[in-house]
Amino acid sequence: MRIDILCLFPDMFTSPFEQSIIKRAKESNLLNIVTHNIRDYTHDSHHTVDDYPYGGGPGMILKPEPIFELAETIQHGVDTDNMPIVLLTPQGKLLTQKIIRDLALQPHLILICGHYEGIDERVHEHLATDEISIGDYVLSGGELAAMVMVDAITRLIPGVLGSEESAKDDSHSNGLNGLLEYPQYTRPATYRSWSVPPILLSGNHEKIAQWRKRQSILRTATRRPEMLQQVILSCEEKSWISERSLNQN
Ligand code: 6GU
pLDDT at 242 over 90: yes
Number of domains in the chain: 2
Question: Does 168 score more than 70 pLDDT?
Answer: no
pLDDT surpassing 70 at residue 166: no
My answer on whether 46 and 136 are in the same domain is yes
Peptide bond into 225 cis (omega under 30): no
State the Cα–Cα distance between residues 249 and 78, nearest whole angstrom.
57
DSSP string, 10-79: GGGGTTGGGSHHHHHHHHTTS-EEEEEEGGGG--STT---EEPPTT--SS-EE-HHHHHHHHHHHHTTS-
CATH code assigned at 134: 3.40.1280.10
Q: How many residues does the chain have?
A: 249
* Same domain flag for 111 and 231: no
Residue 47 has pLDDT above 80, yes or no: yes
pLDDT at residue 158 greater than cutoff 90? yes
Domain hosting 30: range is 2-154
| Predicted pLDDT of residue 117 | 79
21, 131: one domain: yes
Where is average pLDDT lowest: 21-30, 92-101, 115-124, 151-160? 115-124
Residues 232 and 142 in one domain: no
Shared domain check, 186 and 130: no
Ligand 1 nearest-atom number relative to CA 140:
4
The CB of 138 under 6 Å from ligand 1? The reply is: yes
173 pLDDT tier (thresholds 50, 70, 90): low
Q: Is residue 166 part of a domain?
A: no
The pLDDT score that the predictor gives to residue 150 is: 98
Residues 147 and 218 in one domain: no
The mean pLDDT of 65-76, rounded to a whole number, is 97
pTM check: above 0.85: yes
CATH number, domain containing residue 233: 1.10.1270.20
Cα of 119 from ligand 1 centre, angstroms: 13
The residues annotated with a catalytic role in the active site are 90, 117, 155, 170
Summarize pLDDT for 2-38 with one digit per residue, the tens: 999 999 999 999 999 999 999 999 999 999 999 999 9
